[in-house]
Amino acid sequence: MAKTVLPFGPQHPVLPEPLHLTLTIEDEIVKEAIPKLGYVHRGLEKLAEIRDHNQMIYIVERVCGICSCLHALCYCQGIESLMGLEVPSRAKYLRTIWSEMHRIHSHLLWLGLFADAFGFESLFMQFWRIRERVMDLQEETAGNRVILSVNQVGGVRRDISAESAQWILDTLKTVEKETLQLKSTILDDYTVKLRTVGKGVLTKEKAYELGAAGPTLRASGIAQDMRQTGYAAYSELDFAPVVETDGDCYARTTVRFNEIFQAIDLIRQAFSKLPEGELAVKPKGLPTGEVVSRVEQPRGECLYYIRGAGKKFLERVRIRTPTFANIPPLLDMLPGCDLADVPVLILTIDPCISCTER
């Protein structure tokens, strides 16, 4: 049969965000995929010229609604190293706790959306029901549900009291129990396996070559996690990257599913070691010089390049988000797959297009 060119997106029932792919298909088999980005470019990096470096924290948080806290954390770490600030260790632990809460809610959100992508709507509801508990934890401890605004240059803005800590640990126990109950449904179900096992394989070599990030990378058997670099309090906590070796959709789902439990464990460790002390140090001076700051977001490695010239306004802020890194691997996965599997494949890289286009 002759080749057909099919525009996929930017509006598509399965995509929460506007990604456009021009698919060339032959007999319902994808031959080639060409992406087109730029539908939700907001110019947030440019705002650094008219908002000072403290106001920028709240702007970079809005790059992504799902990993807001980690964007602010990455940015603050960069500014702190430019100013030579040493963050108090209680603040480091609290940053870790909020980061991991973000990871849990992001992965639960993704598992829900993924279930929805192959038409399993009741599973979608189940995951989001559990996620709501984590959102409550965030609202109580940070003040807002989604955009936490807890980081500031030099530390954190809020403390977590002992009662809140107990409540968080209790709620996490419920979250853990309820998520485990869904394990057999998402990982052992016959239909789910049919849609995921062996689909969209990304080999270890390709993943490395194309610079995949986060769960997409780890599902291909590369144990690389930015948290191993030991920012915030991660150097004092005990964890190993969650790795799978198959590199297919199923492996990527398993990695994300297991990372929820890893995150819960990290929060427990962090609370058991939480030191007393200051929440923030007072920043002195203005950011001078250039720095690259990296954190591990739920979707993978996020990178900030910041250059300051000793002024209130920064000269340049450049944000490289994990989805941007995961688009080349996606283009590698698509050729050869069924047209019907395209939505599922796209979702397994956990695309966040608003992030990518900033």
Partner 1 sequence: MFMTKTILKNLLTKYATRLYPFQKRETFAHSRGELKIDMEKCILCGVCQMRCPSQCIKVDKQAKTWEVDPFSCVYCGVCVEACPVKCLYQEKLYRAAVAEKDMVMHVQQPKETAEPAAT
Q: Which two tokens stand for residue 104?
A: 């849990």
Q: Which span (82-90, 96-104, 107-115, 132-140) binds partner 1, by CB under 8 A?
A: 132-140
Q: Which of 38, 84, 119, 143 binds partner 1 (CB under 8 A)?
A: 143
Q: Is 136 an interacting residue with respect to partner 1 (CB under 8 A)?
A: yes
**Interacting residues of 246 by C-beta distance below 8 A, sequence separation 6+:** 201, 219
The answer to whether 104 and 262 have CB atoms below 8 angstroms apart is no
Q: Which span (31-39, 144-152, 246-254, 323-331) binds partner 1, by CB under 8 A?
A: 144-152
Q: Is 147 an interacting residue with respect to partner 1 (CB under 8 A)?
A: yes
Task: Report the Cα–Cα distance between both ends of the chain, in Å, rounded.
Answer: 40
Residue 221 CB, shortest distance to partner 1, in Å, is 34
Interacting positions 175-234 with partner 1 (CB under 8 A): none
Q: Which of 68, 96, 106, 141 binds partner 1 (CB under 8 A)?
A: 141
Q: Which of 139, 170, 205, 209 binds partner 1 (CB under 8 A)?
A: 139
Mask of contacts with partner 1, 271-300, x by CB under 8 A? ------------------------------
Interacting positions 31-70 with partner 1 (CB under 8 A): 51, 54-59, 62
Residue 332 CB, shortest distance to partner 1, in Å, is 38
Angstrom distance (rounded) from CA 250 to CA 276: 42
**CA-based nearest residue to 344, from 1, 3, 30, 26:** 30
Exposed/middle/buried for 163, CB within 10 Å: 0-12, 13-18, 19+?
exposed
Could you tell me the sign of the dihedral formed by the alpha carbons of 110, 114, 119, 123, in that order? Answer: negative
In three-state form (DSSP H/G/I as H, E/B as E, the rest C), the secondary structure along 129-153 is: HHHHHHHHHHHHHHCCCCCCCCEEC
Residue 160 CB, shortest distance to partner 1, in Å, is 10
Angstrom distance (rounded) from CA 88 to CA 62: 26
Q: Which span (140-148, 241-249, 263-271, 291-299) binds partner 1, by CB under 8 A?
A: 140-148
Bridge partner list, 35: 21
Q: Which of 3, 36, 129, 273 binds partner 1 (CB under 8 A)?
A: 129
Interacting positions 153-172 with partner 1 (CB under 8 A): 157-158
Tell me which residues touch partner 1 (CB under 8 A).
51, 54-59, 62, 129, 136, 139-144, 147, 149, 157-158
